[in-house]
Amino acid sequence: MTRPNPGVVVLTGGIGGAKLVLGLSRLPGAPRLTAVVNTGDDFEHLGLPICPDLDTLMYTLADEVNPQTGWGRRDETWTFMDTIGQLGGDTWFRIGDRDLATHIRRAQLLAEGQTLTAATQTLCTRLGVRERLLPMTDTPAPTRVITDQGSLAFQHYFVRDRAEPVVRALEYGGAQDTAPTAAILAALGEPGLAAIIIAPSNPYLSIDPILAVPGLRAALRKAPAPVVAVTPIVAGAAIKGPTAKIMRELGIEPSAEAVAAHYGGLIDGFIVDEQDRNMVCAIEKLDLPVRICDTIMLSVNDKIRLAGETLAFAASLSPKRTETTGAQ
Amino acid sequence: MTRPNPGVVVLTGGIGGAKLVLGLSRLPGAPRLTAVVNTGDDFEHLGLPICPDLDTLMYTLADEVNPQTGWGRRDETWTFMDTIGQLGGDTWFRIGDRDLATHIRRAQLLAEGQTLTAATQTLCTRLGVRERLLPMTDTPAPTRVITDQGSLAFQHYFVRDRAEPVVRALEYGGAQDTAPTAAILAALGEPGLAAIIIAPSNPYLSIDPILAVPGLRAALRKAPAPVVAVTPIVAGAAIKGPTAKIMRELGIEPSAEAVAAHYGGLIDGFIVDEQDRNMVCAIEKLDLPVRICDTIMLSVNDKIRLAGETLAFAASLSPKRTETTGAQ
C-alpha cells in the first residue's frame, strides 16, 4: 500500500494565484490539490453566469489558458464578440467563442439544478483537470467596490472602468452566506493535510472575499495544517493588477510587510520576495516566521520552484504554530 | 403627398418562404411588407431560445444569410460548437458563433421583459431589416410531430432525426393561445392591404402552425385583401425539405392540387408551377382561381419575378372573392 500524497489547500484569485497552483500541480509527487477560488468577481453578463477566477484556474490547469493574457482560452476566436455588438449587446467584457462554451454549459448545468461546486467539477472533468477547484460559495457573493465614483459591481470597476476609480472600501457578498460549502470544510478538515496556502493574489479583491464567508476563518484556524501566505507585493509593487494602487487608496503603504500584517492572526508563516529582504525583521516582529524566496513566476519552472519552496516552508512550520503554542 | 405603398402580409416558414419574402422586398416600389412567421419550430437549446424561421427571415432580409445553406449566417465560424461538445453539450443542432449572438441577445431581451414580437423588432432594427417580422405567437407554441417512433419535439424530428421518422399526425402548440398578437391583427386589418400571401412553405410544418392560432383563420377571412397561396409542391415533389414525404405519410398524394384543397375555404387564389399545368382544371373545380407561374426561385431575379406575379394575381382577385360573392 502506498500512502496517498498529502493534501494541500490553496486560497486563490485568478491569474497570479493560478501560477502558483499550476506549480503545485506540476511538483514531483504532486500533492492532492484543492483550490478554494474567489467567486466575488462572478457576475451575470449577457444573461450568462461568468466565473472569471474559476475559469482562469480551470483553463490554466487544463493547459488551455491563453498564454498571452493569462485568462481566457488559447486558440480563441472572437466572432461572437464582434457580432453581439452589432446586435446591441455589451462588448466591454470580452468573451471568446471557446470561452463562451464554458459559460453556456455552466448555465445549463446550474439550470439543471447542479450547485456551482458540482458544475465546476463537471467542467473540470471534461477539460481533464484532476485538481479540485472549489468555488468559495455556491450562491452568488458579489464583491462591490465603493469608489469615488460610487458603489460599483466588481467587473464594472475592474474591467469596464479599468480599475481607475479610487477605492474607498470593499463590500464582500459572501458575508451573507451562513457557512462555507461542505466540500471546503471537508478539504480543510482532512486528516494529514500538509499545508494551506494563501496564493499571491490581491488580498483585498481576491482573498478577503473568501475570508469573508462566515465560518471560513474559523475553519482555517481549526485546520490541522499550517497556513502560509505568499506575498503579492514585491518591492512596493504588484506583479500584476491594481493591488498596490488599491492599498495606497485605502491608506496602506503597499509593502510585503503590510500584507503580512493584513493576514496577521490567520497565517503561520509568510513568504517574502528576495527583493524585500530588508522587511524580514519587521515581519518577524509580527511574531511570524518568514521565508525569503524568488517569488516572480515567469516560467513554468519558476512556478514549480516557488511551489516546492512554499510546501517546504509549510513543512518546517508543522505541526501548526498555534497548536505548538497551545502545547507549551 | 405620396400615397403609402400598399401593405402585403405573408404567412411563412423558413427557407422557402424567405425566398419569396426577399423577392417581395426587392420589388420596385416595394410593398410595406409584414411577414407572419411560424414559431412552431422554436425551442430552447443549450439554455437559449432558438427561433429558426424568424432568424432565417431576418438573416435573408439583412443579406446576412449563408447562401450555401439558406439558414444561419454568412461568414460564419464554428469555434463555439467545436468547444461545447468537449464540455458535454449537445452538438446535433449546429449554432455558429455569429448566429449565437442572436440567440444570446434575444434571451437577454426576453429576460428584460420584451415580448418575442418586440425582441424580433429590436434585432431586425440592429441588422437593418426594414420589413416587419411578426412571430405568430409571443408565447411558446411548439409543434409536436407524432411519428412511428413516438411523439417528437419538432427539432428532434427535423434536425436530430433528419425527418426520417414516419409522420402519423401533427400537434400545433399555438392552439393553446387565445388570440393572434395585436401586431398581427393590426397588420391583417390594415385598410388598403393589397394581398395576403401564403408562402411556398411546408403546409403541415410551417403554415398550419400559424393557422392553428385561434382567431387567425377568422382574421384572414375578415381581412380586406385576397389570400393567395403559392404551391410548395412542383411535379409531385417539394423544392426543399420533407413536404412530399410527409404528405405521403399522411396518406395524401403530394401534388399542387392536394395543397390547394388543403387550403380550400381559406384562400382566394392559388399559384401552380408551369410544370403542373395539367392540374389547373382540377384546382379550378375547387372554385379557386389559378395562376400558372415559374415558381422555382434560384436567382434573386426569380424571387422578384415570382413576387411580382403573385402580387399581380392578388390584384386581379381584388376586391376579395368572398366579398364579391357576398355582394352578388
Residue B2 confidence (pLDDT) above 90: no
Which cell numbers hold the place of A159?
Answer: 474591467
pLDDT number for residue A177: 73
Q: Chain A 51-110, CB below 8 Å of chain B: which residues? A: 73, 76-77, 79-80, 82-84, 86-89, 96-98, 100-102, 104-105, 107-108
B86 vs A contacts (CB less than 8 Å): 101, 126-127
Which CATH superfamily includes the segment(s) B7-327? CofD-like domains (3.40.50.10680)
Residue A228 confidence (pLDDT) above 50: yes
Q: What value does the mean pLDDT take over residues A31-50?
A: 96
**Percent of chain B, pLDDT > 70?**
96
Q: Which residues pair with B227 in a beta bridge?
A: B196
* Residue B327 pLDDT class (50, 70, 90 cuts): very low
B158 contacts B41 by C-beta, under 8 angstroms: yes
A122 CB-side CA count, 13 A: 20
* Residue B289 pLDDT class (50, 70, 90 cuts): very high
As a whole number of Å, the end-to-end CA separation of chain B is: 36
A104 vs B contacts (CB less than 8 Å): 46-48, 80, 84, 89
DSSP secondary structure letters along A158-217: IIITTT-SPEEEEE-GGGGSSS--HHHHHHHT-TT--EEEE-SS-IIIIIHHHHTSTTHH
Phi, psi (rounded to 5 degrees) for B279:
-95, -5
CA separation (Å) from B159 to B56, B94, B156, B163, B241? 15, 9, 6, 7, 11
pLDDT number for residue A4: 61
pLDDT number for residue B239: 77
Residue A328 confidence (pLDDT) above 80: no
Residue A2 confidence (pLDDT) above 80: no
B86 and A126: CB-CB below 8 Å?
A: yes
Q: Compute the mean pLDDT over every residue in chain B, rounded to the nearest whole number.
A: 93
A168 contacts A146 by C-beta, under 8 angstroms: yes
A72-122, pLDDT tens digit by residue? 999 999 999 999 999 999 999 999 999 999 999 999 999 999 999 999 999
A260 contacts A281 by C-beta, under 8 angstroms: no
Residue A256 confidence (pLDDT) above 60: yes
B123 and A89: CB-CB below 8 Å?
A: no
Which cell numbers hold the place of A284?
Answer: 518577524
Residue count of chain B, please give it. 328
Q: What is the ipTM of this complex?
A: 0.87
A299-312, pLDDT tens digit by residue? 999 999 999 999 99
Q: How far apart are CA A283 and CA A260, in angstroms?
A: 7
Number of other residues whose CB lies within 10 A of the CB of residue A247 = 23
Q: How far is B131 from chain A (nearest CA, A)?
A: 17
- Whole-structure pTM value: 0.91
Q: What value does the mean pLDDT take over residues B18-37?
A: 94
B201 contacts B232 by C-beta, under 8 angstroms: yes
B253-279, pLDDT tens digit by residue? 999 999 999 999 999 999 999 999 999
Domain A7-61+133-327 CATH class label: alpha beta
Which one of A55, A59, A79, A121 would you mutate to disrupt binding with B, by most B Cβ within 10 Å of its Cβ? A79
Nearest CA among A243, A222, A318, A61 for reference residue A310: A318
Query: B314 or B177, which is more confident?
Result: B314
pLDDT number for residue B328: 34
What 3-state DSSP class applies to A134? Answer: strand
Q: How far is A57 from chain B (nearest CA, A)?
A: 16
Q: How far is B65 from chain A (nearest CA, A)?
A: 14
Residue B174 confidence (pLDDT) above 90: no
Alpha helices (runs of H) in chain A, residue ranges in sequence order: 15-25, 52-61, 79-86, 97-111, 116-126, 154-155, 182-188, 208-211, 216-222, 243-249, 256-262, 280-284, 300-316, 321-327
pLDDT number for residue A326: 39
pLDDT number for residue B296: 95
Q: How far apart are CA B321 and CA B328, in angstroms?
A: 11
A46 and B126: CB-CB below 8 Å?
A: no
B60-86, pLDDT tens digit by residue? 999 999 999 999 999 999 999 999 999
B220-252, pLDDT tens digit by residue? 999 989 999 999 999 988 877 889 999 999 999
Q: Does A123 touch chain B (CB under 8 A)?
A: yes
pLDDT number for residue A99: 98
Enumerate residues 6+ apart whose C-beta is below 8 A from B23.
B297, B300, B302, B303, B304, B305, B306, B307, B308
Q: Please return the burial class of A119, using the count of CB atoms within 10 Å of its CB with bins 0-12, 13-18 and 19+.
A: buried
Order the strands of the B227-230 sheet from edge to edge: B132-135, B32-37, B7-12, B195-198, B227-230, B269-273, B290-293
Residue among A88, A105, A126 whose CB faces B105 most closely: A88
A233 contacts A256 by C-beta, under 8 angstroms: yes
Residue among A46, A97, A123 whose CB faces B80 most closely: A97
pLDDT number for residue A325: 44
